[in-house]
């Protein structure tokens, strides 16, 4: 059996600002698993393209960047080369740019190997849009985390303000809705629940409750 088939994976997919990052990170910590924030890879690719003056529509050039992305994740910090870009990648403009390059099939393909390489002992929690449908179709437990646009805009607003970024509620609702539409409508790996995924709506529950539910589901699935 190949190494990739041995280590268990929990996938947590869902729309932007559904709480995936916080929840996935805590589930991973609780189980002692590795954590893959796949959105960060799309964000890093977009940031790198912008810094190098490459058009976000230049599929071949952006895919080349993605294939050789000099990224490192160290103790909650994200590095592009030697530069700590932890805060820079979280900017709303970079999220929007990420969703633009994410529609390009060559870019998605260029990031597959890197994502799969995160599957290491003793297991992995992977969050994104296509973790359960495309990257880890054999995941032990697949979750589709969702929440209303209002709840998600509210959360994103708080996150941005906390990080010292400017934020405007009206713009955020517009950005989130446009990003949802782009992520769901694209032909390549569109945002949709994987077959068999457990749909968890977090509009009315806390991150702790979501984490607890996922841990219970995982415990049942791995029996």
The end-to-end CA distance of the chain, in Å, is: 20
Q: Residue 136 in contact with residue 119, Cβ under 8 Å?
A: yes
Query: With contact defined as beta carbons under 8 Å apart, do 24 and 208 qualify?
Result: no
Residue selected from 38, 45, 133, 202 as contacting ligand C5P according to rule CB under 6 A: 38
Q: Is 14 in the site for ligand C5P (CB under 6 A)?
A: no
For position 26 contacting ligand C5P by CB under 6 A, the verdict is no
# of chain residues touching ligand C5P (CB under 6 A): 14
Contact with ligand C5P (CB under 6 A) among 179, 200, 202, 211: 179
Q: Which stretch binds ligand C5P (CB under 6 A): 54-62, 96-104, 156-164, 203-211?
A: 96-104
- If 0-12 CB within 10 Å is exposed, 13-18 middle and 19+ buried, where does residue 185 land? exposed
Of 27, 146, 183, 200, the residue at the interface with ligand C5P (CB under 6 A) is 183
Where is 172: in which H helix or E strand?
Answer: helix 169-185
Helix H or strand E encompassing 101 = helix 92-101
Among 47, 98, 143, 172, binds ligand C5P (CB under 6 A): 98
CB of 45 to ligand C5P, least distance (A): 9
Whichever of 43 and 142 has its CB closer to ligand C5P, that residue is 43
Beta strands, E only, the chain? 9-13, 34-37, 71-74, 77-80, 83-84, 124-128, 141-146, 198-201
Q: How far is CA 198 from CA 11, 27, 127, 192, 220, in A?
A: 10, 15, 14, 12, 13
> Is position 19 an interface residue for ligand C5P (rule: CB under 6 A)?
no
CB of 40 to ligand C5P, least distance (A): 6
Among 19, 95, 123, 132, binds ligand C5P (CB under 6 A): 95
Q: Name the residues that contact ligand C5P, by CB under 6 A.
A: 16, 38-39, 42-43, 95, 98-99, 102, 128-130, 179, 183
């Amino acid at each position: 059996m190949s190494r990739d088939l041995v280590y268990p994976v929990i996938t947590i997919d869902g729309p932007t600002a559904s709480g995936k990052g916080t929840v996935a990170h805590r589930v991973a910590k609780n189980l002692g698993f590795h954590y893959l924030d796949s959105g960060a890879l799309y964000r890093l690719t977009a940031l790198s393209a912008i810094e190098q003056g490459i058009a976000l529509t230049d599929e071949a050039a952006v895919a080349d960047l993605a294939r050789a992305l000099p990224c490192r994740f160290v103790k909650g910090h994200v590095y592009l080369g030697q530069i700590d870009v932890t805060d820079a990648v979280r900017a709303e403009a970079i999220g929007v740019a990420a969703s633009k390059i994410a529609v390009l099939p060559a870019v998605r393909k260029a990031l597959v190997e890197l994502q799969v390489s995160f599957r290491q002992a003793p297991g992995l929690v992977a969050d994104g849009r296509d973790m359960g449908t495309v990257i880890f179709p054999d995941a032990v437990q697949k979750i589709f985390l969702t929440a209303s646009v209002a709840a998600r805009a509210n959360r994103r607003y708080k996150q941005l303000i906390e990080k010292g970024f400017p934020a405007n509620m009206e713009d955020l609702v517009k950005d989130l809705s446009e990003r949802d539409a782009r992520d769901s409508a694209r032909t390549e790996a569109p945002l949709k629940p994987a077959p068999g995924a457990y749909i968890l709506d977090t509009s009315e529950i806390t991150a702790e409750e979501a984490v607890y539910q996922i841990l219970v589901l995982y415990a049942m699935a791995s029996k």
